Amino acid sequence: MASPLVSVIPWAVVASMASMAMMSSVSAASGVGREGIVQQEAESAPATIIGTGSDTDAELTLRVEIERATEAIAEAQAATTPDEKQVESLQRRLLELNETLAAEKRLETFQAKSRDIDEARVLAKTLLATSTEPYVNPVIPRDLDEEAFEAGLDAAMTASRVADKVLEEIDREQARRRDRRLEIRKAISETEAELLELESQPGLGSSELVLRRKYRIQLAALEAERRYNDDSDDVVRIELRARIQIAARLDRTLDAWASRASSRRIQEAEATRVEATEAAEAQASPIARAAANENARMARRLAMVVSERDSGLAELDNQHRLLNRLKARVDSDDAKFRGRVTPEVAQLLRKRLSEFPDEQELKRRVREVKVMLADLDLDRVLLLDGMDALADPNRFAVAEVKAAGLDGPNAESVVKELVEIYEARLDRYGQPLLAAVNEEIETLEMLVDVDLALAALSGRYRQLVLRETLWIRDVRAFQSGFIGRTFAEAGSLFRPSRWTVIVDALGEAVIQDPLTLLFGVAFPLGVFALRRRISSRVVLASVRVARASTDRFRETLICLLLAFLHGAAIAMPVLVLGSVLSDVRIGSDFATVVGRNLVTAGWYLLWLGTLRSMVRPDGLAEHHFGWSKASMKAIRKATIPLLLTILVGFFDRMCDSGGLDLPDVGRLFYGLLPICFAVTAFILLNPVKGLFVPSIEQNPDGKLAQAPWLPVAGVIGLLLGVGVFSVAGWYATVLLLQRVLIQSVMALVVLLIARELLLRLLTCRQRAQEMILRRQEANGEDITEQEGHLETLSEQTQGAIGFTVFVLLAISLWYLWSPVLPALQFGDGIVLWSRSIETLVANEDGKLGTTTISESITLRDLAAAVFTIGFAVYAARHIPYLIGLLLLDRFRVGIGNRYATVQILRWAIGIGGLSAGFAMLGVTWDSVQWLAAGFTVGLGFGLQEIFANFISGIIILFEQPVRVGDMVTVGGTTGRITTVRMRSTAITDWDNKVLMVPNKMLITQEVINWSQGETSIRVVLSVGVSYGEDPEQVAAILLEAGRSAPHVLKDPEPTVNFTGFGDSSMNFDLRVFIATTESLVETRTRINTDVKRRFDEAGVTIPFPQRDIRVTMIGDSAIGPAATNDEDERPASPRDGDA
């Protein structure tokens, strides 16, 4: 008796495999089939061939010449003193002969293949005709046993895999041919140039003649390969069409078998469920019934998992096929249309782009599938734990019976029933359920991979279409019948039958998800009911922030939340309605398009409603952010045309290629958008009541005041020009750029509000700190230093806030514009210069070798380099302060270490940015090392001092012998270090004069650092008293003055030393210690003042130097030279000074 398998799969296996065998024979005979089409690289690559037999005279001649050259090389190398030049010349001649022989072989190969093309074309057409015959779905009997069914399913899967592999081989062959065409074109050009140069030389020798013959044969072989590829391309395409048809037949056959396999598994699982349910109902004991109910639950879970797994497998298969089909389209379109797009081709590419799945939808589904995977992993863990607990069914049953309090014969019967139930749970329900869960997990994981690949492929094709069609005009604009098509499309858009579907979809949504619709209605109604209380709370917050004692940042956050609630109340109905309609389970395709665009409009409404609520009178913008009333009034007026813009934009999005594809009526709606934006621009930018009014009033002589209407006229003219540009045919271009620009403006507004919030937070903290300082000042404390630190911190915080907002804006703009920037092709075709770089490549033997390639530097690279350098300079100015605020303050880093860290980071970021920018322009270390060497030589002459100061500055920052804020003495100058620059260090002395000291002096000369090591210093104050005073009383007064002075340390204690006797006083030294040098002047002044006051109160006198002069009158006769000389030379006696 014949096997039923033969009658079951007549086309799926037997006929399909036979047809594939026939196709293989056809391909082998024609040289262009599955094995003949795929040309191996060895067939077209040059090779060294020695001793290969051939019947042609040319090949015999080449063989003879090769043998002679080989013998000549052997004789030359065997000589007593081999001539190296002769050996090298003979080896080069042998190599050229081998290359000539290889080219001759390739020429004969392609000539032979070209002669068989016609026969191959006929066979390929026959194959195509056979593959396009009507196809009948296979009939799979329901009474197949398990072995026959598995064999048929395996055969169908094998046939489908073989067909897919053949298609992949043909795709690779087509890709190889495309690459080979470029290689052949380049090789022909190079060979012709070498041949022309060779033939231009007079008097060709034997070596030159051999080289000329090689070039000519190589040209002939390349030309023969090119002709063969061109002539056989249609054969490849015909066979590809036939293979696609056969693969489709086999896929349909496999689908039939897979569907039958799924039905069998679902039936088996359903039968298991029914059996478990009946077994549970038949149990008399409550304990056994509970255990059997758990088996029934597992059986129901098994049936559900099997059904979900089979649907997942079907979806995975569909996604796999879609991925393969779209991948082939992307590769094909990229190769065919790159740089060769016409308006007609642009229209075709845009239409094909609409067939690709949406990236965001795929990513959303991937997130949902990952959530399902997490749930399945949890189910698997719980299932394994339950099965491990039942490893010994008898012991577990006995424990359950004892826990229930049963004993005696009744308990034994219950134990037996439980053992049977537990064994069935393990074998009939647990293991199959675990296997089904594992298979579903594997299926979902593969589905995630395929969806991510599809998303990447869609993004790649979208980039291709944008790059090639962005600047291509739509040929359908203003063609004959434009007005008629516009009215027809408008009628189609507003046809009542279309919109009645929305009503039906809403009715179905009320049944399926009533809570969502109820929330969409109840939320705005609730906000509307509380509007008076919300307004009162906003006014109360405005009153509180006006007073410093009640000003808190939470008041600003509350007002922002209330503004957001106001915007959400406006947008929530639209968002809920859109999300309900866009649900694939509800409504039709039209409802889905409407819902998707309603969701987009809802987000715009949320942004617009929140902004309008913020600029209400006595609201957030006025009292918290300090915006002018004129600016807020202009913004409130501008929201009216923007609201109309959302409505027009909704219908515009409905008509684009991603929606209903109504281009003519879409241009009509899009033409209204620039008008709405122009009205908005006029309201915002007009110099009478717009945003520029405060600037013009504050600076009446500025450029803006001189031409106040220029900005609004320029913006309105640009908007109207864009509208004309889009209506004229560049609709897709302007539409894309406009949407990205609108999103950029929205992101800018959001970041500006975030900046205002951060500045508001800074203001609140400043006001709180100022109140604390005022209280300290009222208590008699000196707050000068704290005020300066607070001001510096405020400036740094403002800079950090500005930099943070700038970085977030740059990231937002990059996220929005990165998909569009490659399509703009800015500066790609403008080559400024080229550079040669060496890279590693693998040769034919698989070994790595260096090769030199040329890289072009375009205008786009220059713009990127300028942006990189500019961003690095900007970042070098602000990132260190941001790090200081976020990290250094938290770890309480001192001012000196903070400054060193900030400077090092600043230099590192600047140097790194400059290096990266110059690298984009091709300026690397290899290209400037000679310049660096010359620069180093120059350092030894004119720049050595500057370089020495620069290196000294780096040493100061790293080693920190002195730091910013240290009190130092350099030479005869004492002051505080304020900045450490690359070349010099600034020191501010007590007279508030700034001394610029070269960094080299701080390293090589003696410097006294009063702030390093032990921070406390000793202050010595000298005083003298009259000889009539009591020394012990004077010492006691000095000690009391020292101990009572502020900033004087108690340990070490103040001391007084009697230093000696002076000319007119007894001298004492008061020695006290203070914590830092900052209080040196103040401490010295206060102690001196206190000492003078105490001496006056005690009657202690401070003498001052006195000198008594005695004058003696003598006559003129007594005066003579001798007397004069004697008087001058006479030593003074002790009595000369007495009065």
Please tell me the predicted confidence (pLDDT) of residue 659: 73
What share of the chain has pLDDT > 90, as a percent?
Answer: 5
Containing 460, the helix (H) or strand (E) segment is helix 431-469
> How crowded is residue 390: how many other Cβ atoms within 10 Å of its Cβ?
16
Give the list of residues 6+ apart from residue 451 with CB closer than 8 angstroms, or none: 319, 362, 363, 365, 366, 369
Note the pLDDT tens digit of each residue in 958-967: 777 887 777 8
Closest CA to 145 of 14, 5, 310, 306: 5
Q: Residue 381 burial (CB < 10 Å; 0-12/13-18/19+)?
A: exposed
Write down the residue that tokens 């080693």 correspond to.
959
- Write phi, then psi, for 849 (nearest 5 degrees): -145, 160
DSSP string, 183-211: HHHHHHHHHHHHHHHHHTSSS--HHHHHH
DSSP string, 117-178: HHHHHHHHHHHHHHHTS---PPP--TT--HHHHHHHHHHHHHHHHHHHHHHHHHHHHHHHHH
Question: What average pLDDT does the segment 1064-1086 reach?
Answer: 83
Question: What average pLDDT does the segment 901-923 reach?
Answer: 78
Output the CA–CA distances (angstroms, integers) from residue 592 to 505, 595, 652, in the order listed. 10, 5, 16
DSSP H helical segments within 728-845, as ranges?
731-778, 784-817, 821-824
Output the CA–CA distances (angstroms, integers) from residue 466 to 452, 603, 738, in the order listed. 21, 25, 14
Q: What is the 3-state secondary structure (H, E, C) of 558-581?
A: HHHHHHHHHHHHHHHHHHHHHHHH
Containing 850, the helix (H) or strand (E) segment is strand 848-858
Please tell me the predicted confidence (pLDDT) of residue 525: 92
Note the pLDDT tens digit of each residue in 4-17: 322 233 333 333 33
How far apart CA 814 and CA 824 sit, in angstroms, is: 14
Most confident among 18-22, 31-35, 1034-1038 (mean pLDDT):
1034-1038
Task: Decide if pLDDT at 25 tops 50.
Answer: no
- Write phi, then psi, for 1057 (nearest 5 degrees): -120, 135
pLDDT, greater one: 129 or 981: 129
Q: What angle do CA 703, 706, 711 make, to 5 degrees?
A: 75
**CA 363 distance to own-chain centroid:** 17
C-beta separation of 257 from 313 below 8 A: no
- Write phi, then psi, for 81 (nearest 5 degrees): -125, 90
Question: What average pLDDT does the segment 854-872 reach?
Answer: 79
Q: What is the DSSP letter of 427?
A: I
Give the list of residues 6+ apart from residue 1055 with CB closer than 8 angstroms, or none: 1039, 1070, 1071
> Residue 26 is encoded by which pair of tokens?
């056809």
How far apart CA 616 and CA 395 sit, in angstroms, is: 75
Four-residue CA torsion sign, 497, 498, 503, 509: positive
Question: What average pLDDT does the segment 918-947 reach?
Answer: 66
Confidence class for position 783, pLDDT limits 50, 70, 90: low
Note the pLDDT tens digit of each residue in 481-525: 677 878 888 888 888 887 887 887 787 777 777 888 888 889 999
How far apart CA 105 and CA 436 sit, in angstroms, is: 59
How far apart CA 293 and CA 276 sit, in angstroms, is: 8
Four-residue CA torsion sign, 302, 307, 312, 314: positive
Half-sphere exposure of 752 (CA within 13 A, CB side): 11
Quote the radius of gyration of the chain (alpha carbons, Å).
47
Q: Report helix, strand or coil for 944.
A: helix
DSSP H helical segments within 629-709, as ranges?
629-655, 663-685, 693-698, 703-706
Q: Residue 1001 burial (CB < 10 Å; 0-12/13-18/19+)?
A: middle
Task: Decide if pLDDT at 572 tops 70.
Answer: yes
> How crowded is residue 1041: how many other Cβ atoms within 10 Å of its Cβ?
26
Q: Report helix, strand or coil for 851.
A: strand
How far apart CA 319 and CA 313 sit, in angstroms, is: 10
C-beta separation of 258 from 387 below 8 A: no
> Residue 690 is encoded by which pair of tokens?
């717009």
Q: What angle do CA 157, 161, 164 make, to 5 degrees?
A: 140
How far apart CA 422 and CA 394 sit, in angstroms, is: 9
> Residue 743 is encoded by which pair of tokens?
């999103």
**CA 215 distance to own-chain centroid:** 52
Closest CA to 252 of 317, 186, 324: 317
Task: Decide if pLDDT at 568 tops 90.
Answer: yes
How far apart CA 639 and CA 611 sit, in angstroms, is: 9
Please tell me the predicted confidence (pLDDT) of residue 24: 36
Extended strands (E) in 869-1016? 967-970, 973-980, 984-989, 994-998, 1007-1009
What is the β-pairing status of strands 1007-1009 and 967-970?
antiparallel
Please tell me the predicted confidence (pLDDT) of residue 66: 81
Please tell me the predicted confidence (pLDDT) of residue 1137: 38
Q: What's the mean pLDDT when you consider all of the chain?
A: 78
Containing 1021, the helix (H) or strand (E) segment is strand 1017-1025
Closest CA to 192 of 226, 224, 219, 225: 219
Task: Decide if pLDDT at 147 tops 80.
Answer: yes
> Residue 313 is encoded by which pair of tokens?
């497998």
Q: Flag whether the pTM goes above 0.75.
A: no
Task: Decide if pLDDT at 384 tops 50.
Answer: yes
Determine which of 226-240, 383-397, 574-588 has the lowest per-residue pLDDT on average: 574-588
Q: What is the DSSP letter of 47?
A: -
Task: Decide if pLDDT at 456 tops 80.
Answer: yes
Note the pLDDT tens digit of each residue in 573-628: 999 988 888 775 555 678 888 888 899 999 999 999 999 999 988 888 888 888 88
pLDDT, greater one: 971 or 571: 571
Q: What single-letter amino acid sits at 392?
A: D
Closest CA to 600 of 346, 358, 352: 358
How far apart CA 334 and CA 327 sit, in angstroms, is: 11
Q: What angle do CA 94, 97, 101 make, to 5 degrees?
A: 140
Helices 482-493 and 663-685 cross at an angle (nearest 10°) of 80
Q: What is the DSSP letter of 429?
A: I
> Residue 647 is encoded by which pair of tokens?
């409505």
Measured between alpha carbons, how far apart are the two ends of the chain, in Å? Answer: 162
Q: Residue 670 burial (CB < 10 Å; 0-12/13-18/19+)?
A: buried
Confidence class for position 56, pLDDT limits 50, 70, 90: very low
Containing 1071, the helix (H) or strand (E) segment is strand 1066-1074
> Residue 927 is encoded by which pair of tokens?
């290209």
Please tell me the predicted confidence (pLDDT) of residue 2: 33
Confidence class for position 840, pLDDT limits 50, 70, 90: low
pLDDT, greater one: 816 or 1010: 816
C-beta separation of 317 from 448 below 8 A: no
How far apart CA 415 and CA 413 sit, in angstroms, is: 5
> How crowded is residue 272: how many other Cβ atoms within 10 Å of its Cβ?
22
